[in-house]
Each structure stands twice: as structure tokens, then as C-alpha cells.
């Protein structure tokens, strides 16, 4: 694949499944996604659909490195199938073709005057995406969703989506780009889930499993929130799109807060305590048994799980069931 621009060859559009008990999985509606009114309303600069690729995030990271000017703010790449997707901490997974929404965006955050946002505000972008996806699932599919820090979207306790933000090259003098990838399990069956704790839009009895509808709904909501966030100079405490602040929206929807958690960190370190709140950069504050408040950043945490005194010993050695990756597991799904 060309590093400067992913392959957008259409290829055959027939249903790829045909297997017994596997749902019909039509292709994305490329005409609907490229409709001029939709692109203008969202501010999307360009939207490319590919049949298959290794990873949409990896494609865009290569592309913005090779030719930054060809990939302006709100350039979108979506794929019908990924063969080498990566989540947080380089975890790998793969899902059946046309079973998921797989989309990455190039973000070059500037305010209304064209002034770049401070890079320390970038840590909120994955949380903003999670809020947008939560809203889209509620409004388009009629299913309630919650957020799990730092980058997961849950429905009734099962992970339905993951998000991964990666910083692009900073050497050309332009606004440092962020590549923001989102993966949503749409028509995965129980047998196709990577772990029993994952779920999909179809398994939740949603009002629609149309991936085009879900993708457009997500992009519309993301772009509205993103532009408002940028115009507020990345201030997560400012009102967002005529409503509550991003900080408030995230905390309201986040099931992690108020839990006893175990945060596993690099080097076999861990913090056990009460997940109390998010700080101004979106990091999780955990208060341990000695009343000491720890700042846990999304970039540092290896795993974050609920914890109780009855839990067995550390999970920091060996393989935990949640270490098995997939679109329903930790990271960019």
C-alpha cells in the first residue's frame, strides 16, 4: 500500500459471508458517505473508503508523514476490513469483514482564529470521541452506552468499541496531527466475539445495524463536539456545543469513577484504590488506602480493572482473560 495515500479500490461489493447463522453484511454506502451536504455539514475535508487494509491508523500515520499537506484537518479513512489492527500498547486483533465500523481521522486542532491548541489538550480527544460515539449509539441505535477509562465504550457492561489516539510527526512546522481511530462492533455474533465480555450492536437488540448510518451518526456528532472543543482552546471545562462541558459529559457517563480499581503500570507496578475523578488533562485520579492521590495517565496504564479485597493475587504475571485482544477488547477496536 502506498504510504502517501491508502488504496481506495472498491473491489467486489457482494456479501462476503454466506456462512450459516452469520448475518448479512452489506458494504458501506459510499455515495451516502461522499454526499456533498454531509461533508459540508460536518466539515470533513475528505473521506476515503477502502475494502481492506492492515490498519487505518497506521495508514494515516504513514500518509501524514509522507505528504502532510494532502491530509488536512478532518480527513477520514474507513475500511471494510483490517488485517493488522493495533490497539493500545500495540495489542493486535482482527474481526470479520464488514462486521464493524473501522474509522480513523486526521486531526490538526486549531481554534477559530487558526491558533493551534496546546498539545496537552490532545489527551481529551479520545474521550471526546467516546462521548460522540455514545451519543450516536443512543440516538441512532437506541442503545445506552457508558464510558470506561481510558478509551472504551460499554453497553450493559460489555465492551462494544475502543478508541486509540496517536500523535503524528511534529517536524514540519505545521500543527502536530493526531490520528484518532475508532472501532465499533456492529454485527459480530457471540461466536465471533474475542472474549465473552465483549458485545456488539446487533447483540444488544439495536434499532439499526446499518454501518453507514452508524458511521455517519458518529462522524456528525464527533465533528460538532470537536469544533466546539477547538474553539474553546481545548478547555475541557468550557461549555461544549451549547451544552455541558466535555469534562462534565465524560464524568457523567464514566462507570470507572466511584469504583475500586487496580491500575497495572509498566514494570510490574500497580496502584489499588478508589477512582475518584478526572483531572484537567483527563487523567484518572486514584486514592489509595493511605489517602494518597495518584495520577494515572492513559499513556502509562497497562490495564485498569475493577478490584475488591476478595480478588486473588496480582494479575501482573501470566495472561489474564482480558489480555486477549479483539475489536471488543482494550484499545482501538
What is the reported pLDDT for 29? 98
Which of the four pLDDT bands, split at 50, 70 and 90, describes residue 92?
Answer: low
Minimum mean pLDDT range among 121-130, 145-154, 191-200, 321-330: 321-330
Confidence of residue 311 (pLDDT cuts 50, 70, 90): low
Query: In the predicted model, is pLDDT for residue 77 greater than 50?
Result: yes
268: pLDDT confidence band, cut at 50, 70 and 90? Answer: confident
Selected residue with higher pLDDT from 91 and 193: 193
- The pLDDT tens digits of the residues spanning 104-131 come to 999 999 999 999 999 999 999 999 999 9
In angstroms, how far is CA 272 from the centroid of its own chain?
Answer: 26
Q: Which of 19-28, 131-140, 258-267, 290-299 has the lowest mean pLDDT?
A: 19-28
Instruction: Write the DSSP assignment of 162-207 as a string of letters.
Output: EEEEEE---TTSSPPPEEEEEEEE-S--GGG-SSTTB--TGGGT-S
Amino acid 300: pLDDT:
84
Q: Note the pLDDT of residue 310.
A: 73
Question: Taking Cα atoms as reference points, which of 86, 93, 92, 2 lies closest to residue 50?
Answer: 2
Q: Helix crossing, 125-136 with 211-231: angle to 10°?
A: 140
pLDDT tens track for 227-263 = 999 999 999 999 999 999 999 999 999 999 999 999 9
Whether residue 84 is predicted with pLDDT greater than 60 in this model: the reply is yes
Is there a contact between 313 and 158 (Cβ–Cβ < 8 Å)? no
Segment 18-46 mean pLDDT = 89
Lowest mean pLDDT, pick from 83-87, 137-141, 198-202, 329-333: 329-333
Among 59-63, 135-139, 308-312, 317-321, the minimum mean pLDDT is found in 317-321
Question: For position 21, what pLDDT does the model report?
Answer: 64
Q: Is the pLDDT of residue 331 over 50?
A: no
Dist. CA 323–CA 299, nearest whole Å: 17
Mean pLDDT within 76-105: 80
CA distance 184 to 20: 23
Q: In sequence order, which residues have a C-beta less than 8 Å from that of residue 172 and are 6 or more positions away?
A: 68
Residue 256 sits at the vertex; the CA angle it makes with 160 and 117, to the nearest 5 degrees, is 85
pLDDT recorded at residue 323: 33
Task: Give residue 56's pLDDT.
Answer: 96
Residue 120 · residue 95 · CB < 8 Å: no
DSSP conformational letter for 140: I
Give residue 17's pLDDT: 40
> Does 157 have pLDDT greater than 60?
yes
Question: What does pLDDT average to over the chain?
Answer: 86
Instruction: Report the pLDDT value the prediction gives residue 85, as an integer from 0 to 100.
Output: 55
Confidence tier at 51 by pLDDT (50, 70, 90):
very high
Least confident of 6-10, 110-114, 296-300: 6-10
Helices 246-253, 125-136: axis angle to 10 degrees equals 60
Q: Of the ranges 3-7, 11-15, 141-145, 291-295, which one carries the lowest mean pLDDT score?
A: 11-15
* pTM (2 d.p.): 0.86
Confidence at residue 299, expressed as pLDDT on a 0 to 100 scale: 84
pLDDT of res. 322: 34
In this predicted structure, the answer to whether residue 15 has a pLDDT above a threshold of 60 is: no
Amino acid at each position: 500500500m502506498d504510504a502517501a495515500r491508502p488504496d481506495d479500490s472498491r473491489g467486489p461489493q457482494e456479501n462476503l459471508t454466506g456462512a450459516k447463522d452469520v448475518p448479512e453484511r452489506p458494504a458501506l454506502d459510499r455515495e451516502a458517505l461522499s454526499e456533498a451536504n454531509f461533508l459540508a455539514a460536518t466539515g470533513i475535508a475528505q473521506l476515503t473508503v477502502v475494502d481492506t487494509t492492515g490498519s487505518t491508523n497506521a495508514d494515516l500515520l504513514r500518509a501524514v508523514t509522507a505528504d502532510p499537506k494532502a491530509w488536512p484537518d478532518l480527513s477520514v479513512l474507513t475500511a471494510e476490513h483490517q488485517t493488522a489492527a493495533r490497539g493500545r500498547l500495540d495489542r493486535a486483533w482482527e474481526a470479520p469483514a464488514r462486521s464493524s465500523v473501522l474509522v480513523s481521522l486526521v486531526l490538526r486542532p486549531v481554534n477559530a482564529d487558526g491558533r493551534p491548541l496546546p498539545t496537552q489538550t490532545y489527551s481529551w480527544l479520545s474521550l471526546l470521541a467516546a462521548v460522540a460515539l455514545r451519543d450516536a449509539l443512543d440516538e441512532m441505535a437506541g442503545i445506552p452506552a457508558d464510558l470506561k477509562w481510558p478509551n472504551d465504550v460499554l453497553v450493559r457492561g460489555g465492551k462494544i468499541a475502543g478508541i486509540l489516539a496517536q500523535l503524528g510527526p511534529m517536524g514540519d512546522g505545521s500543527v502536530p496531527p493526531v490520528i484518532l481511530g475508532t472501532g465499533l462492533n456492529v454485527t459480530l455474533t457471540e461466536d465471533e466475539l474475542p472474549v465473552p465480555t465483549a458485545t456488539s450492536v446487533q447483540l444488544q437488540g439495536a434499532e439499526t445495524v446499518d454501518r453507514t448510518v452508524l458511521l455517519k451518526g458518529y462522524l456528525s456528532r464527533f465533528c460538532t463536539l470537536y469544533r466546539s472543543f477547538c474553539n474553546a482552546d481545548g478547555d475541557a471545562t468550557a461549555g461544549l456545543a451549547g451544552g455541558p462541558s466535555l469534562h462534565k459529559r465524560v464524568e457523567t457517563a464514566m462507570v470507572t469513577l466511584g469504583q475500586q480499581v487496580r491500575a497495572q503500570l509498566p514494570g510490574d507496578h500497580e496502584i489499588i484504590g478508589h477512582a475518584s475523578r478526572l483531572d484537567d488533562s483527563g487523567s484518572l485520579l486514584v486514592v489509595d488506602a493511605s489517602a494518597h492521590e495518584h495520577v494515572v495517565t492513559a499513556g502509562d496504564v497497562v490495564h485498569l480493572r475493577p478490584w475488591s479485597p476478595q480478588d486473588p493475587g496480582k494479575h501482573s504475571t501470566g495472561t489474564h482473560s482480558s489480555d486477549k485482544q479483539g475489536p471488543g477488547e482494550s484499545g482501538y477496536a
